[in-house]
Each structure stands twice: as structure tokens, then as C-alpha cells.
Amino acid sequence: MGTVVDDAASAEFHAFFERHYAELARLAHLLTGEPDAADDLAADALLALWHRWDRVRAADHPVAYARGVVANLARTRVRAAVRERRRVALFWSQREERTENPDVAGAVDVQEALRRLPFRKRACVVLRHAFDLSEKDTALALGVSVGTVKSQTSKGVAELQRLLGTRAVPRAPRQVHAAIARSGRAAGGAR
């Protein structure tokens, strides 16, 4: 059971939330240009405020502090989106312009199978085999250890083999690499 101070702080934060959530979500939307992300950013900001509520409520301008938190979260999101766009642009600029006789059906099958993998396995397989990153570079990109990359890549390839059948994804790592790389080129060339 909470104390009187805890209950008072909780009620005060709830009132602050009700008064300012829509404004903070609108601010996030205007800063990022992403209406879907706006609610998440506002909620994340308010969660951060709740964890520091004793300091925030003692501040001269708690709403200004909240706006600053939203702005920082939005800045982080925009920077991440810019980095992602640069990575995608770099990938597409390095790929071949045309693929002779692309196996579009095969590419669709591989892409569908990749979507069925859990995110970390999918990310490891794609970064290692479609982007030709080393285990170390993949680990840096994902913020995991090299051992995790090795394990998740191996498990991801095994799941692809199970999902597609062994004839669609060969056992040899070079052949797996080629099938996934072809899948990306065929899909890009089929556009």
C-alpha cells in the first residue's frame, strides 16, 4: 500500500498526464513527421518523467521539461531514420542494376521465409548473407556479441532450410549466401 505522499504524487502525475499527453503527442508528430510514432514518443517521454517525477514536479516549468524530453526522443528517432535511409541507399547503390533472368518466385519464397524468422535471426542472416557483412560488423550493427551472430545466423539458416526445404536453400554456406543475395537482387530487379 502506498503512502500519502506516493498517492499524492501519483494523482498529480495522472493529472499532468491527462492535461499534457495530447500536446506532447502533437509535438512529437510535428518533430518527426510520423503520426504513428507520435503516441509512442509521448508515452515514452511521460514514462521517463514518471521515473523522475519528484524532480520534475519540483521544477519551475514541468511542461517545458516534458517538451524537452519529447524533443530529445524525437531527435533520436529522426537520426535513426536518417541512418537507416543511408544504409538502404548504400545497399541499393552497390547492387547490380539488372539481374539476368531473375527467379522472382524464388525470391518471394526466400523473402517470405525470412519474414517468418524471429527478428534477431533474420537480421543476422540478412546482414551476413545479403549485405556481406563480417561477423564482427554484424555484431556491431546489432549491438550483440560475435558469438550471438554466429549462433543466430546458424539457427536462422537452419530454419530457412526447414521452411523452404533443402533443395531451395542448399546446405553449404556459400550456396545459402548466394540464394539470399539472389533473392534481394531479384526482388529489386523485378520492381
Where residue 15 falls (left for φ over 0; alpha for ψ -120 to 50; beta otherwise) is: alpha
Burial (CB count <10 Å: 0-12, 13-18, 19+), residue 4 = exposed
List, in order, residues 6 or more apart from 25 with CB less than 8 Å away. 38, 39, 41, 42
Q: What is the pTM of this model?
A: 0.46
pLDDT tens track for 30-88: 888 888 888 999 999 999 999 999 888 888 888 888 898 999 899 888 888 888 888 77
pLDDT tens track for 143-189: 889 999 999 999 999 998 888 875 444 444 455 556 666 665 544 44
Torsion angle of the four alpha carbons 26, 69, 76, 111, in this order, in degrees rounded to the nearest 10: -60
Q: For residues 160-177, b (16+ Cβ closer than 10 Å) or e, as one string?
A: bbebbeeeebeeeeeebb
